[in-house]
Amino acid sequence: MPGDQQPVDGFRRRKRYLPHWEGPGEAYLLTFALRRPPVVDLTEERYGRLVVDALRFFDGKHYDLYDYTVMPDHVHVILKPIASAGKSGGLSRITHSLKSWLAHRINELAGREGDVWAKGSYDHVLRNQKDYEEKAAYILDNARRRGLVDDPAAWPWWGTGAADR
């Protein structure tokens, strides 16, 4: 996990379906899932590549990307919003932007209309290096635990962002 960036203003609590705590300079585990029943399999090449490309596109612009995995019906990401002018980029804005952009593109590729993502998302503030390491290991091992691969590093939809290099 990176060291602190410039100082940013205080914690904010947002609530939609679950409470979301957004802290200045914090890194997060973010999980968002397809609506039920799932409208597509995110691990099909065209969808998996779309999600990975979207995550990487905003790396270094709106957030620092650490780890991610795309599963058939959900996405796990560890990221840290980038602060600008003393304010955090806002996890809720980042989540909304990713989900909205991806929903439009997924619907285009699938030739469909309507909701793609489940309402809400799950986020967890990473409290320290140990917490980060545990969540990164969880992300890496997700596909193996689901029986999709024997070797977690062989999962084509797992990776790290520039912040992890």
Domain boundaries, the chain: 12-164
User: Residue 9: its pLDDT value, please?
Assistant: 52
What pLDDT digit, counting tens, does each position of 35-45 carry? Answer: 999 999 999 99
- Tokens representing 48 are 């998996």
Give, in order, the Cα–Cα distances in Å from 79 to each of 25, 41, 100, 132, 151: 11, 23, 18, 10, 24
Report residue 131 CA to chain centroid gap: 16
As a whole number of angstroms, the distance between CA 30 and CA 77 comes to 5
- Position 113 confidence tier, pLDDT thresholds 50, 70, 90: very high
- Tokens representing 88 are 């955090």
Question: What is the number of other CB atoms lying within 10 angstroms of the CB of residue 162?
Answer: 11
User: Residue 1: its pLDDT value, please?
Assistant: 53
Q: Which residue shows structure tokens 């991806």?
A: 102
- Tell me the CATH number of domain 12-164, given options 3.40.50.300, 3.30.70.1290, 3.30.365.10, 3.30.70.250: 3.30.70.1290
Q: Which residue shows structure tokens 């650490």?
A: 66
Higher-scoring residue by pLDDT: 13, 141: 141
- Position 19 confidence tier, pLDDT thresholds 50, 70, 90: low
Given a cut of 80, whether residue 13 has pLDDT beyond it is no
Report residue 132 CA to chain centroid gap: 14
Given a cut of 90, whether residue 74 has pLDDT beyond it is yes
User: Residue 6: its pLDDT value, please?
Assistant: 45
As a whole number of angstroms, the distance between CA 21 and CA 15 comes to 9
User: Residue 25: its pLDDT value, please?
Assistant: 83
Sign of CA dihedral 32, 37, 43, 48: negative
- Position 85 confidence tier, pLDDT thresholds 50, 70, 90: low
Q: Which residue shows structure tokens 């205080």?
A: 10
Stated pTM of the model: 0.85
- Residue pair 89/30 in contact (Cβ under 8 Å)? The answer is no
